[in-house]
Amino acid sequence: MSLLELNNVSKTYENGDAVLKNIAFSLEKKECVGLVGESGCGKSTLARCILQLASIDEGEILFNGMALQNKNERNLRPYRRNIQMVMQNPAISLNPKLKIRESLLDPYYQYGAQADLRHFQYANEADFAKQLMGAVELPIALADRYPHELSGGQKQRITIARAISLEPALIILDEPTSSLDILSQASILKLLNGLREQLELSYLFISHDLSAVNAMSQKILVMKEGSIMDRFSREELFFENRHSYTKELISLYQ
């Protein structure tokens, strides 16, 4: 059984624009699937649908074989801790009025008592925060600062630490490096790759940057105007039988 399976997922906005058309793919445990496409092709909407932040009109989204669609917030709560997300802009995914520690431990406060973690072994809250900061290679001293006192790369590391804190099965990475400078981008990708192996995570890596997707993923999906145009494994990227749109994207990055 696949960890995540989407069957014929479609979504149409109220004004009649079809934003997702018959999306189908599966994602296995410990796998990273890359989803690439230009801005506005529906990548982020797909992420929001998987997280049930937006509803779908047709199809089904199965997580460990259980359908997620049409569940209300209360019934979704057990799944929430298993599907986490890292967003594009770390500056607005941390509450500016709360200290880093408060934001970082949000999932812990919610699920801490019932969390049965394999990797993180902690005696108390402070110890847990220290381990999380350590996992993303940040000094614990930063935990008592406010988000505006940190750099973009540091903030993104905090959001990653928050996403991994409950050792979820799946993390959706929605353009996690696009708002960072080139050096931070490389180190964040390296960190994400390391964490995936260490914590046995699965990623759905969404990006418009084909080179970043290629560096991270075993499987790559190319999306255009709400449909998946092409799908292939990493090794097949430069094969002759690639879709013309994929070739166009490749030529942009060469």
Partner 1 sequence: MELSVSKFNKPTYKTIGLLILLGTTAAVAAYAFLVLKYDPSFVNLNERLLPMSLEHPLGTDHLGRDVLTRILLGSQLTVGYGLLALLAAVAIGVPCGILAGFKGGFLDRFFMRIADAFQSFPDTIVAIVLSGLLGPGIDNLLIAIVMVKWVNYARLVRSIVSSERHKDYITMAKINGLSSWRIMSKHLFPHIIGHVLVLASLDLGKIILLISSLSYIGLGSQPPAPEWGAMLNDARPYFQSVPSLMVFPGLAIVFVVLLTNLLGDYLRDKFDVKKELSS
Q: Using CB under 8 A, pick the residue from 22, 29, 111, 193 that binds partner 1.
A: 111
Residue 252 Cβ vs partner 1, minimum distance, rounded to whole Å: 28
Q: Is residue 51 near partner 1 by the rule CB under 8 A?
A: yes
CA-to-CA separations, 142 to 119, 137, 155, 185, 201, in angstroms, rounded: 22, 11, 10, 20, 25
| Secondary structure (H, E, C), 53-88 | CCCCCEEEEEECCEECCCCCHHHHHHHHCCEEEECC
Q: Could you tell me if 33 and 204 are in contact, meaning their C-beta atoms sit under 8 angstroms apart? A: yes
Q: Using CB under 8 A, pick the residue from 45, 84, 154, 202 that binds partner 1.
A: 84
Select from 14-22, 32-40, 89-97, 244-252 the region that touches partner 1 (CB under 8 A). Answer: 89-97
Q: Using CB under 8 A, pick the residue from 8, 13, 24, 53 that binds partner 1.
A: 53
Query: How much is the CA Rg of the chain, to the nearest whole Å?
Result: 18
Q: Using CB under 8 A, pick the residue from 44, 45, 154, 159 that binds partner 1.
A: 159
- For strand 58-63 and strand 32-36, is the pairing parallel, antiparallel, or unpaired? unpaired
Select from 5-13, 86-94, 118-126, 130-138 the region that touches partner 1 (CB under 8 A). Answer: 86-94
Which of 52, 49, 4 lies closest to 26, judged by CA?
Answer: 4
Q: Which is nearer to partner 1, 53 or 126 (CB)?
A: 53
Q: Is residue 85 near partner 1 by the rule CB under 8 A?
A: yes
Contacts with partner 1 by CB under 8 A: the residue count is: 26
Q: Is residue 243 near partner 1 by the rule CB under 8 A?
A: no
What string marks each residue from 162 to 181 as x (binds partner 1 by CB under 8 A) or -?
x-------------------
Q: Using CB under 8 A, pick the residue from 7, 110, 211, 218 that binds partner 1.
A: 110
Q: Using CB under 8 A, pick the residue from 24, 66, 67, 92 that binds partner 1.
A: 92
- Interacting residues with partner 1 (CB under 8 A): 51, 53, 73, 77, 80-81, 83-85, 87, 89, 92-98, 102-103, 106-107, 110-111, 159, 162
